[in-house]
Amino acid sequence: MITRNNLTATATEREIVMTRVFNAPRELIFNAYTDPNLIPQWWGLKRLMTTVVKMEVRPGGIWRFVQRGSDGNEYVFNGMYHEIVPTGRLVYAFEFAAAPSHVWLKTVTFEEEHDGKTKLTDKVLFQTVEDHDMMLKSGVQEGVAESMDRLPEHLAKEV
């Protein structure tokens, strides 16, 4: 188990579960995850510029984000939404274009807690143990952790 800035992560052979409690109502957090205008404000590494190319938040809808570094390198992420429960749950496929055919299933839940806080749980299910291990070696968790650190900064502007 890893704990960092109120983010807790646990792992099994094919799954990683991350949880964090945010000092914001779940509607705001859900909106940050589903509004294409808000994604660039918090998603991914801060040193990269995120562009939302496509984001159809509906079952069967496609999403595609491109991150660009100052060195000109591009990192493309995409997937498809499987389930949308407004303010409660998102289920979607996640693929890093540099590793095609390694698709992860992400389930993000937004649970209301007391005092206007929200518990976010982000569960990633990998197709294979090898995919799980590849993700851990790739450094993707750095982007996830930084996103979770940037999200409260964005939410503070919205509250």
| DSSP class per residue in 35-49 | -TTTHHHHSS-TTSE
Q: What is the pLDDT of residue 4?
A: 55
| Helix ranges restricted to H, 23-113 | 26-34, 39-42
Q: What is the pLDDT of residue 26?
A: 95
Given a cut of 50, the residues of the chain with pLDDT beneath it are 1
Q: Which superfamily does CATH assign the domain made up of 2-158 to?
A: START domain (3.30.530.20)
Global pTM reads 0.89
Q: List the domain boundaries for the chain.
A: 2-158
